[in-house]
Amino acid sequence: MFDLHVHTIHSADGRQTVEEACEAAIRRGLRGIAVCDHADMWFSEKLNTPAEIRACMEDVRRARRIYGDRLEILQGVEMAEYLDDPEGADRILSQEGFDVVLGSVHSLRLEDIDDSYSRVDFSEMPEEQIHRFMKKYFFLMSEMIEKTDFDVLTHLTCPLRYVNGKYKRGVDPLCFEKEILTVFGQIIEKDIPLELNTSGIHSFYGRYMPDPSLLRAYADMGGRLITVASDAHAPQYIGNAFPEARALLRELGFDAYCVFRKRKLFQYGF
């Protein structure tokens, strides 16, 4: 299989080189990986610059020379909050050589909150405010799908990893069914695959993103396009829980997963 979402030291939170990621993928028996370092347009963090992405591309080119006969190494980028700085985002995306662009929502502004949801303290937040927060998250996702150009919708419901995983607030994703079904309708219409993200499995969350119940709702609406992604920031998580994810997807009726080359979609049977 292909792991279509992997981070390296070219992300501020990455803890593996491109070469270490490739070696881990080969050990796991994967066919390929997509190196998708962060380009968050919200914060001026170290690694959202065109120069850093160029450095990542250079590492990917070198890795292809070393591992290319054993592993397909795709060049990606995880673009978040594109609409907060469209010119900056375009400067990154105008560079040649991307195989796949991931579309993500990582941060939002709501009332007194103005940060990445991974840094928000949900422990004391009133449930009503959590609901408004989640609705804003899905609204931003819908806006991103409508107005920006990307290939794969990542880690749908990711704030619940913190709300429910880290802070144990027990919020039911089905509270946002209307918003989620709107997102599914949009990506199905645009032929944008949904990512099954396995990074929660071996964390405090212990779940896929999105939940199997939502994957089923996507399939019921006619959604067929899916990618499988570890979102690994360290070698031990590359291809994390892929056999289980594949079994789940087959059970839900998905018979293929998606890969992108030069931003063109290809599908492979499970």
Residues that bind Zn ion (CB under 5 A): 78, 104, 231
Q: Which is nearer to Zn ion, 127 or 140 (CB)?
A: 140
Q: Least Å distance between CB 47 and Zn ion?
A: 12
Cis peptide before 173 (omega within 30 of 0): no
Q: Which is nearer to Zn ion, 104 or 198 (CB)?
A: 104
Compute the distance between CA of residue 155 and CA of residue 171 in angstroms, rounded to an integer.
17
Angle at 143 between CA 10 and CA 39, to 5 degrees: 10
7: its two tokens? 């981070």
Q: What is the 3-state secondary structure (H, E, C) of 53-107?
A: HHHHHHHHHHHHHHHCCCCEEEEEEEEECHHHCHHHHHHHHCCCCCCEEEEECCE
Compute the distance between CA of residue 15 and CA of residue 80 in angstroms, rounded to an integer.
20
Q: Which is nearer to Zn ion, 11 or 164 (CB)?
A: 11
Q: How do beta strands 2-6 and 32-40 pair?
A: parallel
Q: Least Å distance between CB 52 and Zn ion?
A: 15
Q: Which is nearer to Zn ion, 28 or 216 (CB)?
A: 28
Q: Least Å distance between CB 122 and Zn ion?
A: 18
Compute the distance between CA of residue 173 and CA of residue 131 in angstroms, rounded to an integer.
10
Q: Which is nearer to Zn ion, 23 or 195 (CB)?
A: 195
Q: Least Å distance between CB 7 and Zn ion?
A: 6
Q: Least Å distance between CB 59 and Zn ion?
A: 17
